[in-house]
Amino acid sequence: MSLPVHLVPTLAGVGAGATVTVEGDEAHHAVAVRRMRVGEPLVLTDGSGTSVTGEVASTGKRVLDVRVSDVRRVEAPSPSVVVVQALPKGERGELAVEVLTEIGATTIVPWAASRSVAVWKGERAAKSLTKWRSTAREAAKQARRSWFPEVAELASTAEVVRLVADASLAVVLHEEAAVPLAALRVPNDGSIVVVVGPEGGLTEEEVAVFTAAGASSVRMGAEVLRTSTAGVAAVAALLSRTSRWG
């Protein structure tokens, strides 16, 4: 059975035999929700490539001490995968973030597409972004990731164009595209950018500006997926052809 995973701010300089103190919400979740007891094993990670395995040495109300037995450092996954996710309505945004985190996305970029039903402004924008980041954090722990994904600030179309222009491979998912996703050559390093449109679809202008920046407009099959699941399907298809899944 996989060990429970908890996030800590840093594991810099930690080696076998050291004691790491976990505080706040993470400690509360371990002690009060998971009911971790002294002597039980668990994993701590900093979300930036370092994880340690250890045993609970002591517990408190919102504090947990872990005695480290093993340290593991993992290189950042390559190629990196950036998913530009048009804002879905309702809870479908959190669903998209959850499954993209589980599949291995490096960065998730919320995007205010022309036809996005959801609108992020003011306090709602801050709350929605916080919810996306919390969802990614919890999904990364569940998926036992050593590198947690970044959930970026809300992007404009012009900012997405710059991401596309800098990518080793950029694809725009579009049901009317002539080129199948399976026909593309997928790089084993650099960055892959996947642009996922909203429920109402991409506008002709959006497709044109992304392809002008170097993206390939592609279709995945005869079926039209929801915006909350199209990204994970595309990322899985692309990663299956890289050394990350080799």
The pLDDT, as a whole number, for residue 48 is 97
Instruction: For residues 123 and 138, give the distance between their C-alpha atoms in angstroms, rounded to a whole number.
Output: 23
Mean pLDDT calculated for residue range 198-218: 96
Give the pLDDT mean for 70-90: 96
pLDDT tens digits along 24-73: 999 999 999 999 999 999 999 999 999 999 999 999 989 999 999 999 99
When divided into structural domains, the chain yields a total of 2
Residues 29 and 93 in one domain: no
Q: Does 92 lie in the same domain as 29?
A: no
How does residue 163 score in pLDDT terms, banded at 50, 70 and 90? very high
Rounded mean pLDDT, 84-89: 95
d(CA 30, CA 37): 9
**Is residue 228 located within the same domain as residue 208?**
yes
pLDDT at 217 over 80: yes
151 confidence band (pLDDT: 50, 70, 90): very high
Q: In what order do the strands lie in the sheet with 179-180?
A: 150-151, 107-111, 80-86, 191-196, 169-173, 216-219, 179-180
Q: How far is 63 from 40, CA to CA, in rounded Å?
A: 15
Which of 73, 91, 114 terminates a domain? The answer is: 73
- Give the Cα separation of 74 and 33 in Å (integer): 29
Q: What percent of the chain has pLDDT over 70?
A: 100
Domain containing residue 19: CATH number: 2.40.240.20
Q: With 70 as the cut, is the pLDDT of residue 171 above it?
A: yes
Residue 91 is part of a domain; what is its CATH number?
A: 3.40.1280.10
Based on the fold, state whether residues 43 and 106 are members of the same structural domain.
Answer: no
Whether residues 32 and 121 share a domain: the answer is: no
Domain stops at, among 27, 52, 73: 73
Same domain, 105 and 193: yes
Confidence grade of residue 133 (pLDDT, cut at 50, 70, 90): very high
Beta bridge partners of 156: none
Tell me: do 11 and 127 sit in the same domain. no
Of 232, 227, 197, 235, the residue nearest 91 (C-alpha)? 227
> Is pLDDT above 80 for 127?
yes
Residues 9 and 85 in one domain: no
Domain that holds residue 200: 80-245
Q: What is the pTM of this model?
A: 0.94
- Using the 3D structure, point to which of 73, 89, 113 is the last residue of a domain: 73
- pLDDT computed for residue 1 by the predictor: 66
* Residue 58 shares a structural domain with residue 86: no
Determine if the peptide bond prior to 79 is cis (ω within 30°): yes
Please check whether residues 111 and 19 belong to one and the same domain. no
Residues 30 and 124 in one domain: no
- pLDDT value of position 234: 98
Shared domain check, 142 and 189: yes
Q: Check whether 221 has a pLDDT greater than 90.
A: no
H or E stretch covering 54: strand 50-59
